[in-house]
Amino acid sequence: MRIYSKISLEKIRNMMPSVVSVARLVMASVFLYLIMNHQVLLSILIFIIAVGSDALDGYLARKLKAVSSWGGYLDIVADFILVIFSFTAFVLLGIYPSWVLILIVLMFSQFIITSRFKKPVYDPIGKYYGGFLFSIILLTLIFPNNELYLILSVLILIFTLISISSRIYFFLKQKSPDL
């Protein structure tokens, strides 16, 4: 009996970071609903909680020694879904042009593809891309201003190009260390 409860508690402990990531997926859906229904203050609150859960799941994984590749991918997918739902709402509401959403989807796709290599591509810029997009989402929610949206669109484009360039450089450097 005692072994059974110990195994169960260990499984629960190991699942906690993933449960937090799944909660972020739920919050992304709630956020999408709220923003599409012009509930900006509640959207901001849910978004801040969701971003906090991003920090929490990583902390729990390290603290509980429950780090796993599956949990890492779940964390990334939860971040991606939150970002995609946010920008989908912004595009549908006419805040951003659709190319911004397409660019973000392409960035996530290239991240997934290059992460599947035997030796993942190190990208010192790209690791900040999600945090950058979280900041853009928050600025978009807090400061409703068309000029700001244009500036943020340009910043997304610039940061994306820098990240892609960095990823290509480090990919080529792995292939040819002489670079």
Residue pLDDT, tens place only, 35-86: 999 999 999 999 999 999 988 888 887 887 767 767 777 888 899 999 999 9
Number of CB atoms found within 10 A of residue 160's CB: 20
Q: Cβ(159)–Cβ(132) under 8 Å?
A: yes
φ/ψ region of 32 (left if φ > 0, alpha if ψ in -120 to 50, else beta) reads alpha
What is the predicted pLDDT for the residue at 7?
A: 59
Does the pLDDT value for residue 3 go beyond 80?
A: no
> What number is the average pLDDT over the span 149-157?
97
What distance in Å separates the CA atoms of residue 4 and residue 10, rounded to the nearest whole number? 10
* Nearest one of 106, 111, 134, 132 to 27, comparing CA atoms: 134
Residues 6+ apart with CB under 8 A from 173: 179
| Mean pLDDT for all residues in the chain | 86
pLDDT, position 90: 98
Residue 126 per-residue DSSP state: G
Whether 1 has a pLDDT exceeding 90, the answer reads no
Output 88 or 19, whichever has higher pLDDT.
Answer: 88
Hey, what are 111's tokens?
């991240």
Asked if the model's pLDDT at residue 14 lies above 60, the reply is: yes
Confidence of residue 164 (pLDDT cuts 50, 70, 90): confident
Helix (H, G, I), strand (E, B) or coil at 12: helix
- Quick one: pLDDT at residue 161? 93
Positive or negative, the CA dihedral 34, 40, 41, 44 is: positive
- Could you tell me the pTM of the whole model? 0.85
- Rounded Cα gap, residues 169 and 71, in angstroms: 28
Fold assignment, 2-173: Four Helix Bundle (Hemerythrin (Met), subunit A) (1.20.120)
